[in-house]
Structure 1
Amino acid sequence: SWREAAVSVRIVEKHPWLMCFRKRGNLVELRDPLHWTSYTLSLPELADSTVGYARDGWLLMNKTRSKDVFFFNPFSREVITLPECELDFDKIAFSCPPTSDNCVVVAIRFPDFSATISTCHPGDDKWVTATYPSYIRAHRRSNIVYQNDRFYCFSADGTLSSFNPSSCTWSYLCAPQLNCSYINDGNNARKETAVALAEKEGELFVIFRSSNERPMVYKLLVSLEEWEEMSTSTFDGLTIFVGFCNSELRTNLPWMRNSIYFSRFGYNRKHCVSYSFDESRYNPPKEWQNWIELCPPQSLWLDPPPKNVLSSLHNN
Structure 2
Amino acid sequence: MVWIHGVTRLKKIFKIIGNPWKKNEIANEKNYLPRDILFLILSCLSMKDNIRASAVCKTWHDIAVSVRDRSPLLVYFNVGLSGVSYGFFDPREKKTTKAMKLSYQFFDARLCQSKKGWLLMEHNHEGIKRLFFFNPFTREHITLPSLIATGAFGAAEFAFSCAPTSKGCVLCCISNRTPYRFLIHTWNVGAAKWVTEKVNKRAPSKFYGNNNIVFSDGYFWFPDQNGLGVYDPVARTWDTLYVPLPNLSPYLMWITEYQGNIYLVDSVSSRGQMRLIMFRLNRLRLVWEKKKICDGLSSFISDESSIMTYGLPRDMSDIVYVWDSHINPDRPVKYSLSTRSFCKRHDGYCVESSNSNEMLHYAAWIEPPQNSSIYDFPIIDPK
Normalising by the smaller structure, the TM-score range is 0.7 to 0.9
Among 94, 113, 124, the alignment partner of 1:53 is 113
Q: Which residue of 1 aligns with 2:42?
A: 8
Q: Identity over aligned residues, as a percent?
A: 26
Structure having the higher Rg: 2
The CA deviation at 1:230 is 0.6
The CA deviation at 1:79 is 1.2
Q: Which residue of 2 aligns with 1:221?
A: 282
Asked if structure 1 preserves the Cα contact closer than 8 Å seen for 2:160 and 2:215, the reply is yes
Among 325, 328, 342, the alignment partner of 1:282 is 342
Q: Secondary structure at the match of 1:237?
A: coil
The CA deviation at 1:35 is 2.7
Asked if structure 2 preserves the Cα contact closer than 8 Å seen for 1:220 and 1:227, the reply is yes
Q: Which has more helix, going by share of residues? A: 2
The CA deviation at 1:113 is 3.0
Among 141, 162, 179, the alignment partner of 1:96 is 162
Structure 2 residue 306 is matched with structure 1 residue 253: no
Q: Which residue of 2 aligns with 1:85?
A: 147
Name segments (4+ residues, structure 1) moved above 6 Å. Answer: none
Distance in 2 (CA, whole Å) between partners of 1:224 and 1:60 is 35
Structure 2 residue 236 is matched with structure 1 residue 168: yes
Structure 2 residue 173 is matched with structure 1 residue 111: no
Cα displacement string for residues 155-207 of structure 1 (whole angstroms, at most 9, x for unaligned residues):
1x251111111111111x224223x24144xxxxxxxx311011111111111
The CA deviation at 1:136 is 4.7
Asked if structure 2 preserves the Cα contact closer than 8 Å seen for 1:83 and 1:126, the reply is yes
The CA deviation at 1:285 is 9.1
Q: Which residue of 2 aligns with 1:290?
A: none
Q: Which residue of 1 aligns with 2:138?
A: 76
Structure 2 spans left out of the alignment, 5+ residues: 1-38, 45-66, 347-359
Query: How many residues are aligned here?
Result: 289
TM-score, normalised via structure 1 length: 0.82
Q: Which residue of 2 aligns with 1:292?
A: none
Asked if structure 1 preserves the Cα contact closer than 8 Å seen for 2:95 and 2:374, the reply is no
Among 168, 176, 197, the alignment partner of 1:130 is 197
Cα displacement string for residues 25-68 of structure 1 (whole angstroms, at most 9, x for unaligned residues):
22112111233211123332534211111100011111123231
Q: Secondary structure at the match of 2:129?
A: coil
Q: Which residue of 2 aligns with 1:231?
A: 292
Cα displacement string for residues 260-294 of structure 1 (whole angstroms, at most 9, x for unaligned residues):
11125998x7x7311112222112399xxxxxxxx
Asked if structure 1 preserves the Cα contact closer than 8 Å seen for 2:227 and 2:244, the reply is yes
Distance in 2 (CA, whole Å) between partners of 1:14 and 1:150 is 25
Single out whichever of 50-59 and 108-117 deviates more from structure 2. Answer: 108-117
Distance in 2 (CA, whole Å) between partners of 1:38 and 1:129 is 41
- Read off the aligned partner of 2:178 and give its amino acid letter: P
Structure 1 residues 224, 150: closer, same or farther in 2, change over 3 A?
farther
Distance in 1 (CA, whole Å) between partners of 2:134 and 2:207 is 25
Asked if structure 1 preserves the Cα contact closer than 8 Å seen for 2:186 and 2:196, the reply is yes
Structure 1 residues 145, 217: closer, same or farther in 2, change over 3 A?
same
Q: Which residue of 2 aligns with 1:34?
A: 92
